[in-house]
């Protein structure tokens, strides 16, 4: 069995009045992430980590922000397509470990719903998805509530 690890990092600016999609769910907040798609930073880092683990480039290569078909797209559709591509190459997800960096709103109450949605989209067990949240102690763009960042590490296996 072949085992590979991938890593993802993404940042999105926060803007007042936009919906805030995070981990496949809409989180109530006054600000939302700005991006070409729905700007779900957690799904984007998971996609990048999965694609990287399988040496399949990155989310921008597969879903360029210059392509109008991806304007406003639900990132769950991108994740489902990444899973299709990954499985087509013979890979399966071992586990995902992710961290969201955000001052407000508090993410912890939403993590169970995020895990459920992501597991359904990916066709994996909820136990295979770890989502953590942290602040940056009011430092940097996250601390000033100008943006949201996320990291993910994944393990994939190939028979």
Question: What are the pLDDT digits (tens) for 40-61?
Answer: 999 999 999 999 999 999 999 9
Q: What is the pLDDT of residue 159?
A: 81
Model pTM?
0.97
Q: What is the pLDDT of residue 158?
A: 95
Q: What is the mean pLDDT of residues 149-155?
A: 98
Which residues sit in the known binding site? 10-12, 36-37, 44, 58-60, 63-67, 134-137, 141, 144
Q: What is the pLDDT of residue 88?
A: 97
Which residues sit in the known binding site for a divalent metal cation? 10, 12, 44
Answer yes or no: are the C-beta atoms of 27 and 105 closer than 8 Å: yes
Q: What is the pLDDT of residue 6?
A: 98
- Looking at the chain, the whole-number percentage of residues with pLDDT higher than 70 is 100
Task: Tell me which of 65-74, 89-98, 102-111, 133-142 is least confident.
Answer: 65-74
End-to-end CA distance of the chain: 5
Dump pLDDT digits (tens) for 9-43. 999 999 999 999 999 999 999 999 999 999 999 99
What domains does the chain contain, in order, with CATH numbers? 2-158 (3.30.1330.50)
Q: Is the pLDDT of residue 140 over 90?
A: yes
Map residue 20 onto helix, strand or coil: coil
Answer yes or no: are the C-beta atoms of 147 and 106 closer than 8 Å: no
Phi, psi of 19 (to 5 degrees): -65, 145
């Amino acid at each position: 069995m072949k085992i590979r690890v991938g890593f993802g990092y993404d940042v999105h600016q926060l803007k007042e009045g936009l919906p805030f999609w995070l981990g496949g769910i809409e989180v109530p907040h006054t600000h939302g992430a700005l991006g070409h798609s729905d700007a779900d930073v957690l799904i984007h880092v998971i996609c990048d980590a999965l694609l990287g683990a399988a040496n399949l480039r990155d989310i921008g290569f597969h879903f360029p922000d210059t392509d109008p078909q991806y304007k406003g797209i639900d990132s769950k559709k991108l994740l489902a397509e990444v899973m299709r591509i990954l499985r087509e190459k013979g890979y399966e997800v071992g586990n995902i470990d992710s961290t969201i960096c955000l001052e407000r709103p508090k993410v912890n109450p939403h993590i169970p719903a995020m895990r459920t949605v992501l597991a359904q989209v990916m066709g994996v067990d909820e136990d295979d998805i770890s989502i953590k949240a942290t602040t940056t102690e009011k430092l940097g763009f996250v601390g000033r509530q100008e943006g949201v960042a996320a990291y993910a590490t994944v393990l994939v296996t190939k028979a």
